[in-house]
Structures are given as C-alpha cells and as structure tokens.
Amino acid sequence: MLKQLKIMFMMGAIITLLLLGAQPLIAQTAEQPSLGQIPGVALSPLQFLNADQAEVPLLCVINTRNEGPQWFLLNAEIGHEHLGPFSASPAVIQELSVSPDGRYAAIIAVDEGQPVFEVIDFPLLMQEKTYRVLQKLDPYPGVVEIRRWEGDQVYIASTMLLTHANQTGERNASELDLSWPEVFSLDVRTGEIRGVSEGAKNPVDHYLQVLTDPSVSEDQKDAALAKLLLFEEEKLTLAHLLTILEQEQNPKRILKILKKMDELRQ
C-alpha cells in the first residue's frame, strides 16, 4: 500500500508539472523550469506516436531514492501511464533516447559514479513491460553520451576508444582513454562499433594532436605517448613518430620515440 501511495504521489507531481502553463514539456520558460531540467528526471520524445496528436508523447524516467528508477509514459491526449521499475540495480538513469522508429531505446545508467550504456528492445518494454538488453557498453574508466539515431545506428560520444578491445577481448581497452570525447556509431543489430569523428577513425591522430599541442601538460603528453606506442605498425608509422620528434623537447619521450622507430625499422 505504501509503495502504491508513493507511485500516486509521483504521478501527481508529474501532472502538476504538466499543468504549469501552456508551454511544451521540454521547453524552458522564464518562470518555470521544464520537466527535463529537473535533477533526477530523464526524458525522450516518442516521435513515432505523434501521428494525430498536438503534443509529442514522452518517455519519462524519475529516479527515486528508495524505489529506484520509475518509468512513465506521458501522453497529454490519452493520459499518463506508470510503466513500472525495470531494473533491480540501484543505477540512476541519466539519459535516454528512443529511436525515431520506436524499435530501440538507448539508455545511460550510472552506478557508483560510472556510466553504462545500453540499448533495449523498446516495443517489448512497452507491450510486455520487459527490459531486454540488446547491446551494452561499459566505457570504464571513461564516460559516454548519446548523440543521435540513424536507423539501426546509434551515435555516441565517449572518452574511451570503443573500437579497440582489451587483452581479454572485451569491448574497449581501458588503457586507451581519450583526451576529449570522440564520436562512434554502434550497429544495434550486429554490435559493430565504428569510428565517426576523425580521432575515432584514426586514433593515432588523436594522440598525435595531444603530443604536438604546446598547451598540453607534461603528464598528459607522457600518457598520450604511452597510449600511442601501443599501436602496431599498420596504425603507427615512422612518419607519425618523426612528426612528434620534430617538436619534442623531453629527453625521456625522445628516447621512447627512438626505440619505437628502431622497432618499426626491423
């Protein structure tokens, strides 16, 4: 009974927010924050359900302290629905994005400060209240954010080189973190990850940019060189190393570069 009362209270709070003026749910006003700006709330418009409706229905997740993430369908035309909690973990749903065709939902959940990216079967969630994970990425120790959808491809930005597996064959090598986010695409059907931004397609160039930037700290350059030297000959060439050597002033890094050049010449 107590749990039902809590859910009713949350629904009442949502309805109150919906009635705050005539502004759209995800629009910002000078007087009131939008629902999507409230901490602990994640929203995604459901474009495929907007055939004959004035307002786009929304998928909404409210992260509660004791009951975990609670999922709602917000529809001003036919009424709002509590879909339920779908995760037994205490993870907080930070971001979600339903694909324009309604087949998938991309989700970023944060547990103990670390984000995890999942793509779920959205029709199964709506029709059978079943949370079925189709693809999952753990970008530890980096971060990830959702950019956009194109068909079966979801575009994400991450500070990890998601295209490279680690020594155990897992999705990304934890030692290959990036100095800034690069953009990747994930094919939901096959699980294939491709680089989209230049640094994601050519990660050697990403680390070269760090090493040749005079504003970058010595520690950052040391880390970038260590990552760069992990790449094999088909990715890292003598020309790349000569580019670094032309402007490098640190004796320790120069020595490492010279050793790598000797390896590539063999």
Do both 162 and 130 map to the same domain?
A: yes
| pLDDT interval class at 84 (50, 70, 90) | confident
Q: What is the pLDDT of residue 188?
A: 96
Query: Are 40 and 97 in the same domain?
Result: yes
Q: Which of 200, 218, 242 is the last residue of a domain?
A: 200
Nearest CA to 70 out of 138, 148, 129 is that of 129
Residues 137 and 226 in one domain: no
| Predicted confidence (pLDDT) per residue in 190-247, tens digit | 999 999 999 999 999 999 999 999 999 999 999 999 999 988 877 899 999 999 999 8
Is the same domain home to 30 and 58?
Answer: yes
What does the pLDDT read at residue 164? 82
Quick: pLDDT tens for 2-43: 454 454 445 555 444 433 333 344 444 445 446 556 668 888
Q: Indicate whether 217 and 230 sit together in one domain.
A: yes
Looking at the structure, tell me whether residues 152 and 243 fall in a common domain.
no
Mean pLDDT of the residues in the chain? 82
Residue 177 and residue 161 in contact, taking contact as beta carbons nearer than 8 Å: yes
Confidence at 133, pLDDT banded by 50, 70, 90: very high
One domain for residues 26 and 94 = yes
> How is the beta sheet containing 144-150 ordered, strand by strand?
144-150, 153-160, 177-187, 193-195
Q: pTM for this structure?
A: 0.80
Residue 41's pLDDT is 86
Evaluate if residue 172 carries a pLDDT over 70.
no
First-to-final CA distance of the chain: 74
Same domain flag for 238 and 258: yes
Domain boundary among 179, 200, 221: 200
Structure-model confidence comparison of residues 152 and 168, the more confident one: 152
Q: What is the DSSP string of the chain?
A: -HHHHHHHHHHHHHHHHHTSTTS-TT---SSS--GGGSTTEEEEE-GGG-SS-SS--EEEEEEETTTEEEEEEE-TTT--EEEE---SS--EEEEEEE-TTSSEEEEEEEETTEEEEEEEEHHHHHHH----EEEEE--TTS-EEEEEEETTEEEEEEEE-TTS--TT--SS-TT-EEEEEEEEEEETTT--EEE-SHHHH-HHHHHHHHHT-TTS-HHHHHHHHHHHTTS-TTTS-HHHHHHHHTT---HHHHHHHHHHHHHHH-
Among 173, 200, 227, the domain boundary falls at: 200
Is residue 163 domain-shared with residue 212, that is, in the same domain? Answer: no
Domain of 39, in residue numbers: 2-200
Do 187 and 225 have their domain in common?
A: no
Range in 108-122, 153-167, 237-251 the model is least confident about = 153-167
The 8 Å CB, 24+ separation contacts for 112-117 are 114/138, 114/140, 114/141, 115/139, 115/143, 115/144, 116/91, 117/144, 117/146, 117/156
Q: What percent of the chain has pLDDT over 70?
A: 78
Residue keyed to tokens 């699980």: 191
Same domain, 152 and 261: no
For 155, residues 6+ apart whose C-beta sits below 8 A from its C-beta are: 146, 147, 148, 149, 183, 184, 185, 186, 196
Q: How many domains is the chain built from?
A: 2
Q: Is the pLDDT of residue 257 over 60?
A: yes
Position 218: which residue type?
E
According to the model, what pLDDT value does residue 22 have? 30
Specify whether 124 is located in the same domain as 234.
Answer: no
The pLDDT assigned to 30 comes to 44
